[in-house]
Amino acid sequence: MSLTRREALKKMFNVVVAVGAANFISFDDLLALDSGKMIKPNVVWLHGSSCSGCSCSFLNIEDVSVVDILTKFTNLIYHPDVSLATGHHVVDLLDKTAKDLKGNYLFVAEGSIPVKMPHACLMADRPMMDWMEQMAGNATACVAAGTCAAFGGVTTMEGMVTGSMSLSSFVKYKNLNKPVINLPNCPMKPEHLVYVIFHYAKFKTIPKLDAEGRPIRFFAQTVHERCMYYSEFQEKNFAKKIGENGCMLKLGCQGPVTKNDCMVIGHNNNTNTCIKAGHPCIGCASEHFPRQIMLHTYNDKRAIVKFKSSYL
């Protein structure tokens, strides 16, 4: 279905409202971005060690065309899954961007960086860690899209041999001195990235972050604090198996130690989220994800939630 320009702008404004950016982005701002009166943020996106789930999550946004987000409201320079450029065109484009747009683009990294096994992730015969150093080092700010980029995630779990690092660890390791906005979630929620991009478009700065580099707007509270089962938890009405009504703490729920806004913004265009679907939170946005033991049973004595004893 083709949309008129005004219909497309209206749909985009609905997304702006949904992500909580309407207090600083007005409809006139969208018009200004679309018409070029407001400068569109330049965006470069690269994959490190990842499953591409965060890109898929972003591309699945339904309320508005991804093409609109990437072309009307941002100037997307390169994305490995979306851009048509291949081969030496990509190399030339990235080299040129790092040189000519130095300090004038947002660098989005998806996945971690395999530092101890550089050949595990190559692009144009160059290790990804070189690309990450070049593109992060010359950006205005970096965005770690998803838990692997933000905290290492599954790519740094026990037994992994690639020596992968999160983006912020890599930035420190290479002394790049760049701000990193962590958007953990497995996969990243597109709404969080849209918010960061609009914040940057309007103010040319990054949003306020917490000690872990996450936007406070989304990560100030734990899943537990806003959970629909919070009153069940207070009344010690615990579910004993999946599908039973009640708080799922004793089924290994990680809500009390996971900061995220899942009870406000869910996955798949806010269709649902784990707890609402009847499954304990597995802490996918946590800095400790994935734990050695992901879920434990009702009588399991292994410590999984750090301060479990104070809850039971």
Interacting residues toward ligand SF4 by CB under 6 A = 223-224, 227, 229-230, 233, 247-249, 253, 255-256, 258, 260, 262, 273-275, 281-285
Residue 226 CB, shortest distance to ligand SF4, in Å, is: 8
Smallest gap from Cβ 111 to ligand SF4, in A, equals: 18
If you write DSSP's letter for every residue of 167-234 in order, what string do you get? Answer: HHHHHHHTT----EEEE--SSPPHHHHHHHHHHHHHHSSPPPB-TTS-BHHHHSSBTGGG-TTHHHHH
Q: What is the DSSP string of 243-298?
A: TSSSB-GGGT--GGG-B--TTTS-HHHHTB-TTTTT-----TTSTTPSPSS----T
CB of 218 to ligand SF4, least distance (A): 11
Measured in degrees and rounded to the nearest 5, phi and psi for residue 132 equal -65, -40
Residue 128 CB, shortest distance to ligand SF4, in Å, is 26
Task: Give 113: exposed, middle or buried? Use CB within 10 Å, 0-12, 13-18, 19+.
Answer: buried
Q: State the Cα–Cα distance between residues 65 and 180, nearest whole angstrom.
A: 27
DSSP secondary structure, 140-158, as one string: SEEEEESHHHHH-GGGGST
Smallest separation, CB 50 to ligand SF4 (Å)? 17
Q: How far apart are the first and last CA of the chain?
A: 53
* Identity of the residue, 139 or 247, whose beta carbon is nearer to ligand SF4 in the bound complex: 247
Give the closest residue to 101 by CA, choosing from 139, 134, 71.
139
Give the phi and the psi of residue 309 in degrees, each rounded to 5.
-60, -30
| Nearer to ligand SF4 (CB atom), residue 94 or residue 223 | 223
Nearer to ligand SF4 by Cβ, of 134 and 286: the residue is: 286
> Nearer to ligand SF4 by C-beta: 24 or 230?
230
Smallest separation (angstroms) from ligand SF4 to the CB of 245 = 11
Q: How far apart are CA 25 and CA 17, in angstroms?
A: 9
Residue number, 97 or 286, with CB nearest to ligand SF4: 286
**Single-letter amino acid, residue 28:** D
Nearer to ligand SF4, 91 or 232 (CB): 232
Least distance CB 36 / ligand SF4 (angstroms): 37
For ligand SF4, which residue has the nearest CB?
Answer: 255
| Residues 6+ positions from 243 with CB-CB distance below 8 Å | 278
**Rounded CA gap, 20 and 167, in Å?**
26
The nearest distance, CB 229 to ligand SF4, in angstroms, is 4
- CB-nearer residue toward ligand SF4: 13 or 233: 233
Identity of the residue, 139 or 274, whose beta carbon is nearer to ligand SF4 in the bound complex: 274
